[in-house]
Amino acid sequence: MTSHSSAARRDHDVIVLGTGMAGTAIACILARRGASVMMLERNTHPRFAIGESMLPQSAMWLWMLARRFDVPEIGRLSDFDSILSHVSPRCGLKRTFGFVYHHEGRDNDPGESHKLIPPDLPFVQESHLLREDSDAYLLDAAIARGALYRDHARIEDIDIGDDRVTVRLEDGSVHRGRYLLDGSGFRSQLATRFGLREEPTRLRTRSRTIFTHVEGLPAYDDIVDPATPAPGSQRYHDGTLHHVFDGGWFWVIPFGNHREAGYGVTSVGVTLDMDVFPPNDLPAAEEFARHVARFPTIARHFSDARPIRPFVKTGRLQYSSVGSAGQRCFLLPHSAGFVDPLYSQGLVSTFEAIYALALTLTAALENDDLGPARFAEVDRLQREQLLAADHLVHNGYLAMRDFATWNAWTHLWMANKLIGDIYTTRTCLRSLAAEDPTTLDEAIAHVPFSVNGPTASEHQRLLSLCSRELEAAAAGSTAPDAAAEHMLAALAASRWLPHGAYGWGRGSSTHVDFTPSRLARVLLWGKLAAPVELRRNVFDFKVSTLAREEIRRQLRQRRTAVERDPQLVRA
């Protein structure tokens, strides 16, 4: 498909390689701002892609992109109801983040499970994106905004000159532009052709994965002991479920977990610590099945699953680059580096970096200041994101070796999520109150847990302490129970956590359900009792804006329901 017949003859402001979510989202924004954009895609849409589980923060970043750059099409992916109405009914609902721990040869002990149910926010709701549909939707949006598109584009050569970039395709066509964005992912064209990969990578995580899409997988909640009541207001099936064990974890991402679903497919994968499970020559499906069979509860959950596409088995997932910014070119996050999907951080980093890049690039195009120095801050942001994700995931794998350490680490991860989510929510609420989208830019200036984030000092202290304990437990110099006890004690003593809303540091606290009353407790704490830095920098929004947005959401939902079923008007 080619969206414009004269595409090969024109010079463009920006050429984008790859039309995943990153390439298409930035193309939408640039085209909206009046830039001429050419998107070159090696494959064609619709096509399978991985990276399906959203977080409150990835949804909020999409919302912020839409609002800041006035591209409502992007915002439709930030809310589950609007995804169903505008994008695809084949995407799934995500209301929970579940971790169920398993020991080889034993049924899961329900006490060794965590379920996080984040607060229900009025302006976004995360989802499971069927990337086949979401990426095709964003591509259409970019084309509708005027971006040009070539699929089956096989690159023969890329030439970066002082005043322009030239991309030659194998079919003989030549595309010239002032700037090149590489969104082609882990096989990044720029990184490969210009030797930008860091070899060996500095990332500490060492994992590989095997994955596919299946039919016939039941809700996990239906296969566990019915005598054990499901914790919280939502099922595990209403979100992303992780089956965790020593040396790895499975993901379970259902797409058919809502009333309007007509697509009973689930994304499944197992991700393995390569130091525990080194690469081997086993066929992908066979190795996947062997790991399933080791854990009786997982085997029951997967017993009726039928793959609808071949399994993919990867080598090491981690890669990084010496830098993202070059003369007239930039590597988008997934082209620059990647860690591991354990905490679903990939799309958060992608959308956040696109926000920063869109601000810089639109200004840089105006005065043709397109050298690497201009993009140094975005480069720094991407590097920080990658290293922070690596730190979190590397420690996650160390923690998985024993439930005690996994439990303590999960407490820290939940604290990290809660404060990070509140910070991003606060930025959105302040921009709504000010009715000024440019105020959203402060989300980039103060990334929550970066070196300049408002909670950085306490976060770094807890993170360093827990890392030391996990390393000691892994080296055998501390017993896992003792390491977990030290970690939990540090969390229990932290003044930076709302202890009235969850038992941080109490080993028996596992699930947390942020119902409206629990959220109210967090807000009261944040407004009145939290350390002054948190009150000033994280809880400095008006609760009335939250209430107003909630009323608006209820009116929107009512309108949508009536549109779908006019009989409701009488009710």
Ligand X SMILES: Cc1cc2nc3c(=O)[nH]c(=O)nc-3n(C[C@H](O)[C@H](O)[C@H](O)COP(=O)(O)OP(=O)(O)OC[C@H]3O[C@@H](n4cnc5c(N)ncnc54)[C@H](O)[C@@H]3O)c2cc1C
Residues that bind ligand X (CB under 6 A): 17-23, 40-43, 49-53, 58, 153, 155, 183-185, 187, 189, 209, 211, 317, 332, 334, 341, 344, 346-347, 350
Output the smallest distance, CB 319 to ligand X, in A: 10
Write phi, then psi, for 30 (nearest 5 degrees): -65, -40
Which residue in 120, 105, 136 sits closest to 23, CA to CA? 136
Amino acid at 3: S
Write phi, then psi, for 208 (nearest 5 degrees): -135, 170
Which of residues 53 and 410 has its CB atom nearest to ligand X in the complex? Answer: 53
Contacts of 341 (CB under 8 A, 6+ apart): 50, 51, 53, 209, 251, 269, 271
Output the smallest distance, CB 244 to ligand X, in A: 15
- Please name the residue that has the structure tokens 């050569």: 157
Contact 538, 447 (CB under 8 A): no
Output the smallest distance, CB 58 to ligand X, in A: 6
Which of residues 361 and 404 has its CB atom nearest to ligand X in the complex? Answer: 361
As a whole number of angstroms, the distance between CA 347 and CA 334 comes to 9
Which of residues 420 and 526 has its CB atom nearest to ligand X in the complex? Answer: 420
Annotate 421-460 with b (16+ C-beta within 10 A) or e (fewer): bbbbbbbbbbbbbeeeeebbeebbebbbbeeebbbbebbe
Output the smallest distance, CB 386 to ligand X, in A: 11
Write phi, then psi, for 213 (nearest 5 degrees): -110, 140
Output the smallest distance, CB 568 to ligand X, in A: 35
Which of residues 68 and 334 has its CB atom nearest to ligand X in the complex? Answer: 334
Which of residues 100 and 429 has its CB atom nearest to ligand X in the complex? Answer: 100
Output the smallest distance, CB 189 to ligand X, in A: 5
Which of residues 127 and 494 has its CB atom nearest to ligand X in the complex? Answer: 127
As a whole number of angstroms, the distance between CA 23 and CA 190 comes to 14
Output the smallest distance, CB 52 to ligand X, in A: 5
Which of residues 114 and 128 has its CB atom nearest to ligand X in the complex? Answer: 128
Q: What HEC string does 462-483 produce?
A: HHHHHHHHHHHHHHCCCCHHHH
